[in-house]
Amino acid sequence: MSKTGYMCGTDFHEEMGMMTTVVYPTIEGLKRHARCWKQCGIVKVGVEMIEKIEPANWKDEIDAK
């Protein structure tokens, strides 16, 4: 399964893997939250799930309430 998202161009080229980077689901969301987009540009990226390492377990969260 893969998804498409949008990132600050500088984050993609310079920061990926070194800092917390955000992939936004829409260009509008990126423009609203990452105000640097005019200077840094915007890149379209693909994110692919390769393997599920640990299954989700929402039951514990629900039981805790």
Q: How many domains does the chain have?
A: 1
What pLDDT is recorded for position 65?
64
Q: Is the pTM of this model over 0.85?
A: no
Q: pLDDT per position in the chain (65 positions), as tens? A: 899 999 999 999 988 777 788 999 999 999 999 999 999 999 999 999 999 999 888 877 667 66
Q: How far apart are CA 26 and CA 32, in angstroms?
A: 10
What domain range is 21 assigned to? 2-64
pLDDT per position as a tens digit, 1-17: 899 999 999 999 988 77
Contact 4, 45 (CB under 8 A): yes
Q: Which of 32, 30, 57 is nearest to 41 (CA)?
A: 30
What pLDDT is recorded for position 54?
93
